[in-house]
Chains A and B, each alone.
Chain A
Amino acid sequence: MKPTTKNDRPVNLDLSTIKLPLAAITSISHRISGVIMFAGIGILLWMLELSLSSEAGFNRLHELLTSPLVTFVVWGVLSALAYHLIAGVKHLLMDAGIGETKEGAPRGATIVIIASLITILALGVWLWV
Chain B
Amino acid sequence: MLVSVYRYNPETDLKPSMRDYQIEIPGGKDLMVLDVLAMVKEQDDSVAYRRSCREGVCGSDGMNINGVNGLACITPLSDVVKNDKLVLRPLPGLPVVRDLVVDMSIFYKQYERIEPYLQNDDPVPAIERLQSPEDRAKLDGLYECILCACCSTNCPSFWWNPEKFVGPAGLLQAYRFLADSRDTHTDERLANLEDPFSVFRCRGIMNCVAVCPKGLNPTKAIGHIREMLMERGA
Contact = CB atoms under 8 A, between A and B. Distances in A.
A–B contact (CB under 8 angstroms) = yes
Interface of A: 1-4, 6, 9-13, 17-21, 23-24, 27-28, 31, 91, 94-95, 97, 100-102, 105
B172 to A, nearest CB: 13
Contacts of B89: 12, 17
Task: Report the interface size class on chain B.
Answer: 35 or more
B14 A24 contact: no
Contacts of B68: 19
Contacts of B97: 9
A13 B205 contact: no
Contacts, number: 95
A100 B204 CA distance: 9
Contact of B64 (A2, A10, A18): A18
Nearest to A102: B209
A6 B206 contact: no
A10 B15 contact: yes
B160 to A, nearest CB: 10
A23 B204 CA distance: 9
A97 B226 CA distance: 11
A87 B217 CA distance: 21
B95 interface: yes
The dominant DSSP class at the A interface is: loop
B90 interface: yes
A11 B8 CA distance: 11
B11 interface: yes
A24 B207 contact: yes
Given A19-B67, A23-B206, A91-B204, A4 B10 contact: yes
A60 B16 CA distance: 59
Contact of A17 (B64, B203, B226): B64
B3 interface: no
17 contacts: A4-B14, A6-B95, A6-B103, A9-B96, A11-B92, A11-B94, A12-B89, A18-B154, A19-B66, A21-B210, A23-B207, A27-B203, A28-B156, A91-B204, A95-B226, A97-B223, A102-B217
